[in-house]
């Protein structure tokens, strides 16, 4: 399947990526090439095949829902670009 510029822009928006006008055609062409590689798998009938999500068909291990971790908020927030009073700061969302 060939992707055009407007489709690439739509996907980029979903992925929160900005693709410049100048790069959009190039990106669309590269992705079209990759989709051509991927489409090779369409050549084979898999109607009766069960999808495999895990190589060992293992199921997720669950645990009792109890607090096991200690609080590291201050330590972790030293890594953040901007914090205030224990909160992560981002540009203003509501005027």
Partner 1 sequence: MIEKTAAELSQALANGEISSVELTQSYLDRIKKYNEELNSYITVCEESALVQAKEADKKRVHSDSSPLLGIPLAHKDIFCTNGVTTTCGSRMLHNFIAPYDATVVGKLNDAGVVMLGKTNMDEFAMGSSNETSFFGPVRNPWDTNRVPGGSSGGSAAAVAADLCTMATGTDTGGSIRQPAAFCGITGFKPSYGRVSRWGMIAFASSLDQAGPLTKSAEDAALMTNVMAGLDKKDSTSIDKPVEDYTATLNDSLEGLKIGIPKQHFAEGLTADVEKGIQEALCEYEKLGASITEVDLPNNHLSVSAYYVVAPAEASANLSRYDGVRYGYRCANPVDLEDMYNRTRSEGFGEEVKRRILVGTYALSAGYYDAYYRKAQKIRRLIKNDFVETFKEVDVIIGPTSPHTAFELGTKTDPVTMYLEDIYTIAVNLAGLPAISIPAGIANGLPLGMQIVGRDFGEAQILNVAHQFQQQTDWHRQKPNFGQET
Q: Which residues bind partner 1 (CB under 8 A)?
A: 3, 8, 11-12, 14-19, 27, 30-31, 33-42, 44, 46, 49-56, 58, 60-61, 63, 72, 75-76, 79-82, 88, 90-93
Distance of alpha carbon 53 from its chain centroid, rounded?
17
**What is the rounded CA–CA span in Å between residue 46 and residue 83?**
51
CB of 85 to partner 1, least distance (A): 16
CB of 21 to partner 1, least distance (A): 13
User: Closer to partner 1 at the Cβ: 25 or 80?
Assistant: 80
Count of other CB atoms within 10 angstroms of residue 8: 22
């Amino acid at each position: 399947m060939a992707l055009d510029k407007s489709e690439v822009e739509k996907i980029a928006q979903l992925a929160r990526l900005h693709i410049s006008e100048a790069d959009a055609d190039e990106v669309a062409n590269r992705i079209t090439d990759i989709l051509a590689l991927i489409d090779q798998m369409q050549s084979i009938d898999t109607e009766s095949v069960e999808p495999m999500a895990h190589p060992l068909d293992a199921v997720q291990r669950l645990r009792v829902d109890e607090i096991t971790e200690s609080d590291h908020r201050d330590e972790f927030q030293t890594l953040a670009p901007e914090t205030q009073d224990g909160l992560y700061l981002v540009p203003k969302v509501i005027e």
